[in-house]
Amino acid sequence: MQRSQYLRYVILGLVWWVSAPASAALVYSNEFQGAVGSEWSHTGIASAPNPDYGNTRLFLGEFGNDTVGLSLNGLPTHGLTTVSFSLYLMRSWDGNDTTVVNKDPLGPDTWTLNVAGGPSLINTTFSNGNPAGQAYGGAFSSYTHTAWTPCTAYQGYSGPGPNGPMKGANECYSLGYKFTSLSVTNEAMDSVYELAFTFPHTDSSIMLNFGANGLQSLADESWGLDNVRVEVAAVPIPAAAWLFGSGLLGLIGVARRKARAA
Ligand SMILES: [Ca+2]
Ligand SMILES: [Ca+2]
């Protein structure tokens, strides 16, 4: 093979490699409509009481100040991992409220997700109506899995916290949970957030820890998970690689011109 022909193949190979899309592979999904496997540290299933669902909207829960682990092994070679899920928040989450009632602080009511031995993906507070507001302020996710209209509650919030209760929630009052205390009776109180995180990860196994802290009892504040998906992908080729690649092509061009001139 002539050197120029060889160079052409190298260049074609480089162009293919740089322009090949990073395809994602779904390695795990669970809608919790059946039995839960040993990949989960907690296997309890709850049913959203909204009668519109006919008791068929099942999810992993209910949890309080628990750490709920998802352990996956045998992942294919990858550079990035994405975890996405529906977070169900039931009853009177207090967000940023630190008021102490009967020696018991109402909050902050914190929810977290981290990768064992890896990054913390979220560490925030949520409020299902407490006017102290919440730390989470994400925009509505574009991903929705039900016909429920995205919640518009508290859009005109002007309270003390940075974000109003239920800011960024995809659903409000849709699960059918009710809360009763000294001041309210059977008040609808729940929200659903569609969350997704992508992070660098190369190990063939992963342990995801979902958790909450600062909560009162389950009858007062609880949470659950649904529609959990884990995907892995190759690292997309960044702009720097394009520049490097085009620089390399330029160098090859110079080398060829020199070879021809010699
Ligand atoms: Ca479900
Ligand atoms: Ca609380």
pLDDT in tens, 57-72: 999 999 999 999 999 9
Average pLDDT, the chain: 84
| 8 Å CB contact between 115 and 201 | yes
**Which residues, chain by chain, have CB under 5 Å from ion ligand 1?**
31-32, 58-59, 226
Which ligand is closest in space to the CA of residue 223? 2
Distance 99 CA to ligand 2 centre (A): 10
pLDDT over 90 for what percent of the chain?
56
Q: How many Cβ atoms are within 10 Å of 184's Cβ, its own excluded?
A: 12
- Smallest-distance ligand from the CA of 60: 1
Domains of the chain by residue range: 24-238
Q: Residues 149-167: pLDDT tens digits?
A: 446 556 567 778 788 888 8
| Ligand that comes closest to the CA of residue 132 | 2
Indicate the fold that domain 24-238 takes in CATH: Jelly Rolls (2.60.120)
Q: How many angstroms separate the alpha carbon of residue 6 from the centre of ligand 2?
A: 68
